[in-house]
Amino acid sequence: SDGGRGAGHGGTATDTRVTTLPLDLGAPRRLEAALAAAGLPDRLDGLVYAAGVAHLDRVVDTETEEWIEHLSVNLVSAAELTRLLLPALRAARGQIVYVNSTAGLRANPGWGAYAASKWGLRALADSVRAEEPDIRVTSFFPGRTATEMQRRVRAQEGGAYDPAEFASPESMARSILAALETPRDAEITELVVRPKN
């Protein structure tokens, strides 16, 4: 991840056009103005919400500001971008992929704020899927991936970072693309991809 900055991606499998938007996801109230300035089209084939922050700490040691940051970046900004982009996604009968985490499936000690935000993201995806029958919604749950975020997580855990121990970002991206390219008569609602090691 990018420490609170994120990118929304829109494009189609046929024209492979992808638009990346640098947004401050730690400030969800500013997203509407940022999207207006971006001049997005009236139709969007897809949105990939791929952003997150993770600060590890026990619940008893997690300060309010850390909770707010986790929830703002990992959940509230996803909900706000969804709300703002739904008209364009409806117009194209598009698809949303929320990049979650296996922490959104199982909470572990020291991961309280992160896991809570990711469980919330899963609930958001399920709600959007139920409310928007013409939009396909996928929750993507990647396991540990060789990224800068994983490097920071390993440092917080007091361990060494060896990218060979984790799945590659390319493997995760291909998995997301597979969900996006699924024929329209089917929907991948949840996809879990873990490192083979």
Quote the pTM value: 0.89
User: Looking up tokens 């979650």, which residue turns up?
Assistant: 100
Note the pLDDT tens digit of each residue in 48-101: 999 999 999 999 999 999 999 999 999 999 999 999 999 999 999 999 999 999
Distance separating alpha carbons of residues 160 and 154, to the nearest angstrom: 6
CATH of span 5-193: 3.40.50.720
Distance separating alpha carbons of residues 135 and 29, to the nearest angstrom: 24
Domain assignments of the chain as residue spans, ordered by start: 5-193
**Distance, C-alpha 47 to centroid of its chain:** 10
Residue 162 confidence (pLDDT) above 50: yes
- Give catalytic residue positions: 114
The per-residue pLDDT of the chain, averaged, comes to: 92
Residue 11 confidence (pLDDT) above 50: no
Q: Give phi and psi for 126, each to the nearest 5.
A: -65, -40
Locate 86 and state its tokens. 């739904």
Residue 1 confidence (pLDDT) above 70: no
Q: What is the pLDDT of residue 197?
A: 74
| Selection from 167, 128, 160, 146 nearest residue 47 by Cα | 128
Note the pLDDT tens digit of each residue in 90-112: 999 999 999 999 999 999 999 99
